[in-house]
Structure 1
Amino acid sequence: MRFVGLITARGGSKGLPGKNTALAGGKPLINWSIEAAQKSLLERTIISTDSEDIAAICRAAGGEVPFMRPAELAQDDTPHIDVILHALDWLESNGDLPEYIVLLQPTSPMRQATDIDGAVRMAVDNDADSVISVFPAPVHPFWIRRLDASGRLEDFMKWPEQSGYLRRQVLPPAYALNGAIYVLRSRTLRENRNYFTDKTFGYVMSEENSTDIDTHADLLVADLLLKQRKE
């Protein structure tokens, strides 16, 4: 049973331009994912990018960039699953189709090799179709509201039978996807074009390791955390 890592890094980020190579903790953001993969149980990790600049940075960090992603798979509206399937097709055409592909997004620099290994072991132990990393939800779904057309607050979901204020301690645990790790069975992903089946398991990560970079503020926080971790 083989596990191959896949780091996807598009060059044309709009929300935070150049975020995949922005400096965090003294090195390009994507380098943290490359290093975590290198220290993990993954037998091989490849990078899919459309950017020659990103490819050069990855190779300098010891990353493997065996192909360049075609431009049509690097658009703002390109489904991520199509990028993964493209990488699987390349691996198969080169005689290296793994049982599982492990997606590692470069915007999760705090993810550790131990997190990757834990998710991989969970997939093996449960014969999972997929294992997806999560963390304790920062806001419980029972506390989320929506606004109607006039601005009035409405319940977003049906509350439990108890009335009144519900303390977090009495609510059922809730977890949010953190985007750090997706362990996906290659065959099932191809057949269903979906990350989720009835054999999808959640690998719980800490809040700190779940840090995701989407804005400049996120990058500043990650930079501080990574520097503190190095010290």
Structure 2
Amino acid sequence: MLSGMTAAKVLVVDDEENISFLVASALRMAGMDVETADSGSSALSLADSFRPDALVLDIMLGDVDGYDVLRSLRSRGHTAPVLFLTARTSTADRVKGLTAGGDDYITKPFALEELVARVRVALRRTGIADSSPILSAGDVVLDDDAHQVTKAGEVVHLTPTEYKLCRLLLTNAGRVVSRGQILDHVWEYDFDGESAIVETFISSLRKKLDDSDQRLIETVRGVGYTIRRPS
């Protein structure tokens, strides 16, 4: 859960699941309310219901390209800034993206920190500021500004890696985060074959955050881990 001022709403549109997850997680960690779509048609439907303040839009989608999605958005009255995300790097492609009405053009591969910064710039241009997140689940609270985690009001001392893992899971509370996604986001590179490193750090985090009668981090067998939202 995010606390504080109303979060800026961002719609991420990309048909590559891992990229969509990483971008959405980075934006959520920056305090933004994020929804994702994996096609042009679902993006248009979500834009109508979610009413985003900004969009991160991949150009090469499976059903329709990002330029057509942008034209449809504008025809429906959506004026939110659009940041194109693409593997196309030529000057001609950049010009096409910007002249099509895009507010920025980000090429893959990209640094997540730079993408977040560009989204913030686009939001500021519209007069919308993003909030600093305080994430919580039950009596566990993560304050990203203070870089601190507390449980029932008491500070929990985490290693830097444990903190990143805790923040990733809290940011995606209610969603299952796969082991591969954890490796990509926390360690920022892929392991060859199976590795017990994720299980090791999950176990360490559980020892510091779980109560004897209630488990905060749940295992979804064969998939990954999740923090369930309180019912």
TM-score norm. by structure 2 comes to: 0.30
Higher RCO by CA contacts (8 Å cutoff, separation 6 or greater): 1
TM-score norm. by structure 1 comes to: 0.30
